[in-house]
């Protein structure tokens, strides 16, 4: 089955499932071991979810430490190899009610 064969609902379900599983892996085994496990699995959805979750966790940690969203966005972008623009979304999200 190719990626184009999945419905939007199926993709959304897989996305949520991947996010939940990665959060659990990271909590139980640490981010480095979780990354190794995900690389072994190799599913694009899982790898993308891992990056989002780790960026969100780092954004929360930086916010808790008093780092400004602007400064945090550069740190997040560097660590997770994403654009500063995307990283800023994570940094800004923790400052808003409801967060992520």
pLDDT 10s digits, 43-94:
787 778 888 889 999 999 999 999 999 999 999 999 988 999 999 999 999 8
Domain annotation covers residue 99? no
Count of domains observed in the chain? 1
Domain annotation covers residue 86? yes
Instruction: Give the CA count within 13 Å in the CB-facing half-sphere of 16.
Output: 5
Q: Which domain holds residue 32?
A: 3-93
Distances (CA, A) of 20 to 13, 27, 61, 92: 11, 11, 19, 22
Domain annotation covers residue 98? no
Domain annotation covers residue 63? yes
Domain annotation covers residue 22? yes
Domain annotation covers residue 100? no
pTM for the structure as a whole: 0.59
Place of tokens 């990665």: 22
Residues 6+ away with beta carbon under 8 Å from 83: 77
Tell me: pLDDT of 6 over 80. Answer: no
Tell me: pLDDT of 39 over 90. Answer: no
Domain annotation covers residue 72? yes
């Amino acid at each position: 089955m190719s990626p184009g064969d999945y419905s939007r609902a199926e993709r959304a379900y897989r996305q949520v499932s991947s996010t939940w599983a990665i959060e659990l892996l990271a909590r139980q085994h640490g981010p480095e071991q979780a990354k190794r496990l995900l690389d072994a699995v190799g599913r694009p959805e899982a790898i993308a979810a891992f990056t989002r979750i780790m960026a969100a966790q780092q954004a929360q940690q930086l916010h808790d430490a008093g780092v400004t969203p602007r400064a945090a966005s550069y740190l997040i972008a560097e660590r997770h190899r994403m654009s500063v623009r995307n990283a800023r979304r994570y940094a800004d999200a923790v400052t808003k009610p409801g967060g992520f």
